[in-house]
Structure 1
């Protein structure tokens, strides 16, 4: 009979511990990336009466395991581009400076004062490093965004598509190459356009293209730019010219429709450079002169103004010169037995002997999930399920109390026999 007292106590302990697990789950219902736990019950080794297995009597209950449930949480949209959520398996890797490496599902990242991407604990997010050309190196390290700049690129190609009015006549005055502070006389050309190109240091230079009709279906394009570095004292210089011809249908017949010109940018401290002008698809129709399309492939230097992250975990910087540069790629870790990871609080896990060693991979590879920016993974706690478990634990606790009080009453009756 005394055994039932200890059996009841084991039930009290087991159900109270189960209630603690439920309480922890409910308390973290709003914790980002939190993974709920489940208390698994087991019976205590039984005693045998009379040596027959059929006479085994249990010694009560115990919690044999508190199992972590790594089911997917709902993804919530946020306004922070560095808020990241994993859809699928895997963990973010964060490293404490001069400390251990942790794993987490909580993707609340931001920049610290030194320009590194960190979590709320100040631990640095780990990622594959990238070369300047945007290729992954395979080395894993911190993500550094402070001071990033987009280097300038010198223009080496200009594309201009125009329609030159077939009704135009040869100008009344012959073309004269400009030299000095004055641009060409409007009476010497039929049409002009301008485009900004960039030298090797990212300095902008305005280049004028003047179209002069020389005969039926024949035109000449002249390239003019300011060769002086003093904006108050320009020196307009002709870089060269290019003859353009059309057929009777107004289609371009010049082959190839390109020509290269040399621009001397040494007064600005930059190198001289050749720029190819491409007039592909230009036409000569009986409609007003017009620029249909023009573009060039150079740009100035730029400062970082925004950060983006794609589903492959590639972090890119957006710069003031309109360029987008890949900086790093978030790396994820996967464990064979993730439920055996050691919780250390603050949404962090540590590798354990039971979890096995991690395997690393880019999002969407080697069985790991994808990464979504401007998103956070909510807790996977199901409140309805937790309330049911709470009720079950309460009932179990109450029932075990009744076992103890009933046993006590029976012992009292036994003690009353001697009276």
Structure 2
């Protein structure tokens, strides 16, 4: 038995050394392979006699074996890559990948159900838009709904073939306008008004919305203006807000105050940013934006002009006039809603307080030929069914010269409507007569100042490709867009 044991031990030693040389050869052969981690060899002795309970005998070495140790979970050395989709994992972690079956259905790649894991982060986009690494495995991830922004719970292969440009979320609106002139006599003047052209903003899901800003000069102090932002789409998404902006005698900004609480907003120090917070509710998600008016004491941004100056910005949206004693609401004469040849146009008047309730008239084009619009009274800060402002919905058809051809009550079709001068609306349960006869369409293109109010959203662009950026609690704390040596676990 001792001769046989000696021979077995010798053979096992040769076999163990063969395994060690095999590992060494593999390491040399794969030294430049992306994702490969050098294997190491551990030798193990098998001990006899003591396993048989013979503690009185000396332990005799019976044989030896070689164990190949893989280091797939270790950090590789990252190197720079010109591939914008290449990634390396810093610390622990593996990419979740899958393998295709080789079969296709109606041009769609089919995948195996089995999941694999790898640290080979040298991914590229294949001809079908999938992210594939150099070993031919497809990167898996959780897709985000482009409309709702919700992350899916299903792990699937990442495909970027249909990625399109998405406007960025709006965080700041900037107003640059001369809202009025300083009166030559501060004790006798007619209060001025100014309303910006609506600006398109975008929520977190890249959905567009319209926001306008309305200014009304105080009747007791020409340097004080009431200002509020409103939803220029008439959907009531902007929260009710009321601020007082005071100017210096030279027309520069002096201070901003919350008219409801009386608290000063920001600083009154010269050079400090003057801004107003705007809160919006888009599909149940609150979005906060800042309305940047310029700086305290600054000569740019929002200012007032010297008396008699002709540099005042032209108001882009008209406001209503209301008389609570006669219960009438009127639209300004010569209000141009849009053009006779346009399509998908809309117009919302600036908010006007009827008593203490803000009221706007919302116009929406429904047909281009003949030019047809619907109109109704709304509370620009509340579009719910319980709003204190309501009216029938009226359909207005315009002639080719922009004048009104006919008016129909869509809510009560049996009601005869002779024109736009005798429509009705309910405000705080009180019936008002609406005279909207000042509305018409232009036969030529409208000249609109879209520079007075701007958004920081990037609204247009061209998709050129994807770049790697992976975040989330299921990933390591640091993943960089570089190539690294890593290993794949079958």
TM superposition score normalised by structure 1: 0.48
More helix by share: 1
TM superposition score normalised by structure 2: 0.42
More strand by share: 2
Q: Which has the larger radius of gyration?
A: 1
Which structure has more relative contact order (CA 8 Å, sep 6+)? It is 1
